[in-house]
Structure formats: C-alpha cells, structure tokens
Amino acid sequence: MSARVLVGVKRVIDYAVKIRVKPDRTGVVTDGVKHSMNPFCEIAVEEAVKLKEKKLVKEVVAVSCGPQQVQETIRTALAMGADRGIHVEVSGKDYETLGPLQVSKILAALAKKEQADLIILGKQAIDDDCNQTGQMTAALLDWPQGTFASEVNIEADKLKVVREIDGGLETIKINLPAVVTADLRLNTPRYATLPNIMKAKKKKIANVKPADLGVDVSSRLEVLKVDEPPQRQAGVKVETVHDLVGKLKEAGRI
Amino acid sequence: MILFRQALRFTSRLPFICGRCRTYSAQVGSVERVISAFRSVSGDEGVSVGSAVREQHGRDESVHICRPPDVVVFPRSVEEVSALAKICHHHQLPMIPFGTGTGLEGGVGALKGGVCFSLRKMEQVLDLHQEDFDVTVEPGVTRKGLNSYLRDTGLWFPVDPGADASLCGMAATSASGTNAVRYGTMRENVLNLEVVLADGTVLHTAGKGRRPRKTSAGYNLTNLFVGSEGTLGIITKATLRLYGIPESMVSAVCSFPSVQSAVDSTVQILQAGVSIARIEFLDDVMINACNRFNNLSYAVTPTLFLEFHGSSKSMQEQVSITEEITRDNGGSDFAWAEDEETRGRLWKARHDAWYAALALRPGCKAYSTDVCVPISRLPQIIVETKEDLIRNNITGPIAGHVGDGNFHCLIVLDPNDPDEVQRVHSFTERLARRALAMDGTCTGEHGIGLGKRALLREEVGPSAIEVMLEHRRR
C-alpha cells in the first residue's frame, strides 16, 4: 500500500499543570509553563505509526501549526515513529487567535499538496475542547469522516471505524481518502525512547507559511474575557433536620 | 525499650478497624498552644485538627490500626517545614512526615500523638537535567507523576513499587520494585536529599545543588537518610538518577515443574548476562488464583514472568538464549511478546496478583510479607514456607522478585477471627527468622515500620542498634 498519512499534532499546556488565569483576564498563563503534545494527538500519532508497522501505510507525516516551539512537538511525533514533519509557521497575534477553522483550511491544503490518503487527528485539544478541526477538514476536502474512533481497520480500500457514541459503539465503513479523529480508547501511545529521540533529530521538518498554502489565518472570533470558575464556598453545618429544611427553603431549593 | 515491645501488639487488636479517634493526651495541652503558632506559619488552611483529616493521616495501606496524630500541617515550602519543625522541637512534639500514605508497614502511625507533616502541597518537579540524567523532585511528586512529566524526554525513573508512591517517601523507606534486578533500588538511585532535621536545620546531604554521578566526599549522608523511615528528618527534596527508556521491551512467561527449577533458571539467566529487567516468580497457589480471577489457563505450577529491556536488534537473541535455559531446567509453555498489548496481557496475571489473592476469600483482608535472602537459598526458604502455610492452614499465595531473592506471601486472612490472626502473626515471625537464619533480611522493600522493630534488633545485632539509636538521639 502506498498510502500517506497526515497526522496533526497540537502543542498545548501539559495536562498535569494547574492552569491559572492571567491577571488581565485575557487568557491563561503560558509563559514558563510546561507544554507537551495534546494527549489525543499522541493517540493519533500512535495509530498512524501502528498502521505503518502493519505495513498498511507507507509514510507518516506529522504537522503542527504555531511558532518555533511547536518543532519540539513535531520532534516528539518523529520520535514515536513519524517519518517527517511539516511546521506551518504561525506566530504572535495570529497564533493567539488560531482556531479550528484556520487549522482545517491549512490541513486541507496540505492534504492536497502532499497527496495524503488519510488524515488522523485527535478528537479535540485539551485547551480549547473545540472538537471541530477533524470535522471541518473533512468538509473542506469533501472526504468522509470517522470521528471518536476507538478502533480503525483498513479493509481493501475502505476504512472500518468503530465510533464511541452516546448510546454505545457505532461501526461504519467509509471510503478512502478519509479523516479520522482519535478517541481515548483507540490505543495506548508509546513513550518516546531515548534512542528514538536521537534518531528523530535526523528526520526532516519542512517549514511552510500559511500564505504559501493560500490560507488566511485571520480569525473571525474575538475572546472578550477569561474567568476562573467561581471559588467553592465552604459548607455550613446545621444541628437538626429542621434547620436543614429551613436552610434549603431559604435558598429556594425546596 | 518500650518501642520494641510495642512491635508485638499486633495480635491483640482487630487490626483493620481504625481505633476510636484519639482524644488529646496529656502532652497535647502543649499542642493546643502551638496550633496558633502553626497557623502563623502555614495559614489557616495549612493546619487541620479535624478528626477526618487526622484519621486520614494516621493510617497507610498496611494492616496496622489507624493511629491519628493530634494535628496535621500542610507546609508549602522547605522554609515552612523548617519553621514548623522549630516550633515542634521547642515543645518536644513528635513529628511524622507523610507522603502518599501508601506504605505497607504502618510507618505513619502516630504512636505518641504529635504533628503530622503532610507534604502533598510541595509537588514541583524542579531542575531536570536531561543530559546528566538527573532530576530533583519535591515530596508531593509521585513516581507515575514524574514519569508522565518525563515522557517527552525519553527518560524514566524505573523504581516501581506497587503503589503510586511519593518519591521522597520511597527514599525514606528505601523502596524497590519489580525491575530492581537491573536498575537497583532507591539506595542506588538517590544522588542528594534536602532534609529538615528535628530542630529545623535544613540539611543537603551531598551539598546544596550537587548532583555528580559519583563522589567520595565525606560520609555518605544521603544513604543514611535513605531508608530512615522518617526517624532522622523530613525529606523535602530528592535528586534522582534517571535512565533512558529502553528501545525495546519484551515480556515472556514460562512454567516450571518445581520451585527449584524456576530458581535455577533465574540464576543461570542472570549468569548468562541476558539483559533481563524483571524476573517475577508466582507459585502454584498464586497462579491458580490468577487463573480464576482473570479467566486465564496457565498451568498451575511455579511460573516465571520475565521482561527484557534493550535494543530491538538484540531482543531475538536474548529471548532464545533464555528459552534454551528454561527448557534445560524442565520449563515448558514458554510464550513471549514484544507489542504493548500482548505484553500487557501476559503480565496481567502478575499485575493483578494482589486482587487475585484477595478474590480467593472475599470479605477478607490481605497482608504481605517481605523477606529477602541470597538467591541460592530461595528454593529452600520457599519450600519450607509453603510447608508452614499448609501446616497452619493459612492462605498465602507467593509472588516474588526472584532476581533479588525477595518474595512476598500475600496472606489472605479474616481479621475478625482472632485464632487466624494469631496463626498468621506467628507465621510471619517464623518466616522472618527463617530468612535471618539464611543470611537474609526480614524486609527487602517495605521497611521496618511498626511491626518489625524487634526483628531489626535480631537482624543487625545490638551494637548496630546502639549506633542507630545514637544517631537518632542527636
């Protein structure tokens, strides 16, 4: 099979970090905070590499959009087994307002340019929780989509995808080329080993600008403010059931 | 010494029910006086006298009853720890450090009341030096938390006791794990510690910020504190040795007709220089329990679970050398796997051993013994121990880190049956003494804690105990 897989990877604040809102309430603190690859993107990379190990695809290309630092994220994907990377340079204000619509336009343009047969993305990013990029990319390319995938199999020239849905599991068969978004149970991503990290340093990362792909990254959304969730108030102890009922009535709960 | 006699109190209480909440003792007139001093250091949220919080900090995952402290403090920095320690020192209050409460020997029990220092708010990973393979962590960082933090670097910290324990706590108990045979225990992997002593002095055991891979400068204070179980100071930072994640991991399972043949294979595998990382032994009772718990069908005989770490090219050769060794010793049903999922399935039996043992007798509790002997004596001690178990009608499947000569009897007992509790207690004493008689130790990994203090005296001898007590007195 001569298939080429495009995997999108996003650099986000590490899941273990305690998020703090900036004092000016325009966003969250990112300076000096640990960043890593979005966990669902890790699962996407792992799936692509597994497909390559099963010899069902020939090449895995990792893509990330952002400033210089996203190269670290691409290197992690290379250390996990991707063959080469593409860094789409977006920085400054453009990067702060970069969202699913612009990214999906970029991915669609890259898919055509690289003649990709399959795009695998994480189902959503843990910073914005949008869950839109995969679906938008498929729509722009007019490709079928298998989202929330917990199992992916290539059968002949079709893709069998088991999707996690509210009611349970749904199995669909879609034509290639297609877009798949990875859900939590699709696989367990491998840790990048030190020897593989060393090897990854030699793999190529190409630099591309959105303008080269004919994509306008200006945003139609404006973030007005960012607030922390309200502080949890301490509870109140009451002495009797009578008092409890009284307090509940006061609060309008009963 | 009073403390040593208390070690034998295990029998008379129902060990699993938390004792009635300790009311303040005579000492604690002084605790009430100091609480406002504590609050001025750590703030109102940093000091708790609530009974639920105190009970939570008076027990760990052992069978020892809950012994809550009089007050729990939550310092946020080493400066706060030092200030609080000074207050405790001034008022002669016992101090008990608390990491994750996952110990197995009752180490956090406040026998004489006092102040529990819960260190969970100090949870930073500091100073990672990738090229030097070292990292410094605070007590709130657990081993899984650290490895998750390191996942993009290709490095890991391989010491893996069963629980997701605090790394500083692991240093305090000199913990070990399943891959000690290749990577060592905490004793080999702690480069430096920051410790707050009883009077509030902040000590850097190898010098502040120092992290050479080796040193011959002065007394080895770092390793004095490793394994001191909170009796010499409160560990507030640990500098740890990291390793590269191996390129390839291969797991294998093999059944044997006898304990002797399994151990003989282990010795020969170690001698062959195979890049073995884990060798785990499960006896027939344990395999039976695992089969029933996980719906597996391993042959019900002594079994070895092995794991190799190395480069992908060398794995094939390592596996075939090992297979040959096991076959020469009468081993059979050798199965191996490289991919993560099949490996997971192969090892599931070993990972779930604790729960499989518990499932043998629903409603009962489990207690793990922890002796360690030179490898050559392992077959004899396991055979004698199994005879002892059968003679005394005790349910005790055996799982062991046979590459280190360390094994655990996962004893499943009914805590409400005083006769059984007594039988188990006598059995564990006999087992520890059997290990001591074979040049071994009464605790390979879990520590002395509350239950083994008399045994420590037998193990190291009265002169060594005197030296240890001298250190503690100062």
Q: Which residue of B has its CA nearest to A54?
A: B339
- Contact residues on chain B for A72, CB-CB shorter than 8 A: 152
Question: CA-to-CA distance for B176 and A221, rounded, in angstroms?
Answer: 53
Under a CB-based contact definition with an 8 Å cutoff, are residues B28 and B110 in contact?
no
- Contact residues on chain A for B152, CB-CB shorter than 8 A: 36-37, 72, 76, 192
Which pLDDT band, with edges at 50, 70 and 90, does B19 fall under? very low
CB atoms within 10 A of CB B468: 17
Which pLDDT band, with edges at 50, 70 and 90, does B18 fall under? very low
Which run of H or of E encompasses B72? strand B71-73
Question: CA-to-CA distance for B59 and B66, rounded, in angstroms?
Answer: 5
Phi, psi of B225 (to 5 degrees): -80, -25
């960082």: which residue's tokens?
B141
- Report the phi/psi class of residue B81: left, alpha or beta, with left for phi > 0 and alpha for psi in -120 to 50: alpha
Task: Flag whether residue B25 sits within 8 Å of chain A, measured between CB atoms.
Answer: no
B22 pLDDT more than 50: no
Handedness of CA B18, B24, B28, B31 (dihedral sign): positive
Handedness of CA B334, B339, B344, B350 (dihedral sign): positive
Under a CB-based contact definition with an 8 Å cutoff, are residues B371 and B429 in contact?
no
Question: CA-to-CA distance for B142 and B7, rounded, in angstroms?
Answer: 29
The string of pLDDT tens digits covering residues A147-163 is 999 999 998 889 999 99
Which pLDDT band, with edges at 50, 70 and 90, does B58 fall under? very high
The Cα of A45 is separated from the nearest Cα of chain B by a number of Å equal to: 14
Task: Flag whether residue A201 sits within 8 Å of chain B, measured between CB atoms.
Answer: no
Instruction: Suggest the residue from B51, B151, B339 to mutate for an interface test with chain A (most A CBs closer than 10 A).
Output: B151
Handedness of CA B179, B181, B185, B190 (dihedral sign): negative
Q: Give the pTM.
A: 0.84
Which pLDDT band, with edges at 50, 70 and 90, does B42 fall under? very high
B7 pLDDT more than 70: no
The answer to whether the CB atoms of B245 and A37 lie below 8 A apart is: no
pLDDT at residue B109, as a whole number: 87
- Contact residues on chain B for A76, CB-CB shorter than 8 A: 152
The answer to whether the CB atoms of A197 and B153 lie below 8 A apart is: yes
A239 pLDDT more than 80: yes
Residue type, A85: G
Which pLDDT band, with edges at 50, 70 and 90, does B1 fall under? very low
Task: Flag whether residue B164 sits within 8 Å of chain A, measured between CB atoms.
Answer: no
Per-residue tokens: B103: 């110990």
Which pLDDT band, with edges at 50, 70 and 90, does B11 fall under? very low
Residue B218 neighbours by CB under 8 Å, 6+ apart: none
The string of pLDDT tens digits covering residues B156-165 is 999 988 788 9
Task: Flag whether residue A217 sits within 8 Å of chain B, measured between CB atoms.
Answer: no
Question: CA-to-CA distance for B147 and B143, rounded, in angstroms?
Answer: 6
Task: Flag whether residue B244 sits within 8 Å of chain A, measured between CB atoms.
Answer: yes
Which pLDDT band, with edges at 50, 70 and 90, does B445 fall under? confident
Q: What is the mean pLDDT of chain B?
A: 86
Which whole-number Å values give the CA distances from B108 to A66, B28, B232, B275, B354, in the listed order?
Answer: 49, 19, 14, 37, 22
Nearest-CA neighbor of B168 among B113, B110, B103?
A: B103
Per-residue buried b or exposed e for A125-147, using 16+ beta carbons within 10 Å of the residue's own CB: bebeeebbbbbbbbebbebbbbb
Beta strands in B160-284 (DSSP E): 190-196, 202-204, 234-241, 243-244, 248-255, 276-282
Instruction: Give the pLDDT mean for B304-318.
Output: 89
- Contact residues on chain A for B145, CB-CB shorter than 8 A: 16
pLDDT at residue B411, as a whole number: 92
């895995």: which residue's tokens?
A60
Question: CA-to-CA distance for B436 and A53, rounded, in angstroms?
Answer: 51
First to last CA, chain A: 65
The answer to whether the CB atoms of A194 and B151 lie below 8 A apart is: no
In the stretch 10-39 of chain A, residues with CB closer than 8 A to chain B read 14, 16, 34, 36-37
Beta strands in B258-376 (DSSP E): 276-282, 303-310, 332-337, 365-368, 371-372
The string of pLDDT tens digits covering residues A7-38 is 999 999 999 898 999 999 999 999 989 999 99
- Contact residues on chain A for B154, CB-CB shorter than 8 A: 79, 191-197
Per-residue tokens: B381: 């001690």
Flag the least confident range among B41-45, B302-306, B349-353: B349-353
Handedness of CA B26, B30, B36, B37 (dihedral sign): negative
The answer to whether the CB atoms of A196 and B148 lie below 8 A apart is: no
Q: Compare A122 and B161 and report the one with higher pLDDT.
A: A122
Instruction: Give the pLDDT mean for A222-249.
Output: 88
Per-residue buried b or exposed e for A106-120, using 16+ beta carbons within 10 Å of the residue's own CB: bbbbbbeebebbbbb
Question: CA-to-CA distance for A48 and A56, rounded, in angstroms?
Answer: 10
Which pLDDT band, with edges at 50, 70 and 90, does B340 fall under? confident
B247 → closest Cβ in A72, A188, A196: A196
The answer to whether the CB atoms of A191 and B149 lie below 8 A apart is: no
pLDDT at residue B234, as a whole number: 94
The Cα of B149 is separated from the nearest Cα of chain A by a number of Å equal to: 8
Instruction: Give the pLDDT mean for B446-465.
Output: 84
Which pLDDT band, with edges at 50, 70 and 90, does B10 fall under? very low
What DSSP line would sit under B83-136, residue for residue? HHHHHHHHTT--EEEESSS--SS-TT--BTB-EEEE-TT---EEEEETTTTEEE
Under a CB-based contact definition with an 8 Å cutoff, are residues B335 and B253 in contact?
yes
Per-residue tokens: B151: 């996942």
Question: CA-to-CA distance for A28 and A15, rounded, in angstroms?
Answer: 14
Pinpoint the alpha helices (H) of chain A: 39-53, 70-80, 93-96, 100-114, 133-141, 194-200, 241-250
β-strand pairing of B248-255 with B332-337: antiparallel
Question: CA-to-CA distance for B159 and B319, rounded, in angstroms?
Answer: 23
Q: How many CB pairs under 8 A join A and B?
A: 41
Which pLDDT band, with edges at 50, 70 and 90, does B25 fall under? very low
The Cα of A192 is separated from the nearest Cα of chain B by a number of Å equal to: 5
pLDDT at residue B141, as a whole number: 95
Q: What is the mean pLDDT of chain A?
A: 94
Question: CA-to-CA distance for B398 and A175, rounded, in angstroms?
Answer: 53
Question: CA-to-CA distance for B68 and A177, rounded, in angstroms?
Answer: 63
Instruction: Suggest the residue from A37, A187, A193, A198 to mutate for an interface test with chain B (most B CBs closer than 10 A).
Output: A193
Nearest-CA neighbor of A65 among A20, A15, A121, A21?
A: A121
- Contact residues on chain A for B340, CB-CB shorter than 8 A: 188, 190
The string of pLDDT tens digits covering residues B237-283 is 999 999 999 888 899 999 999 988 998 899 889 888 888 999 999 99
Handedness of CA B272, B274, B280, B281 (dihedral sign): negative
Per-residue buried b or exposed e for B95-128, using 16+ beta carbons within 10 Å of the residue's own CB: bbbbbbbbbbbbbbbbeebbbbbbbbbbbebeeb
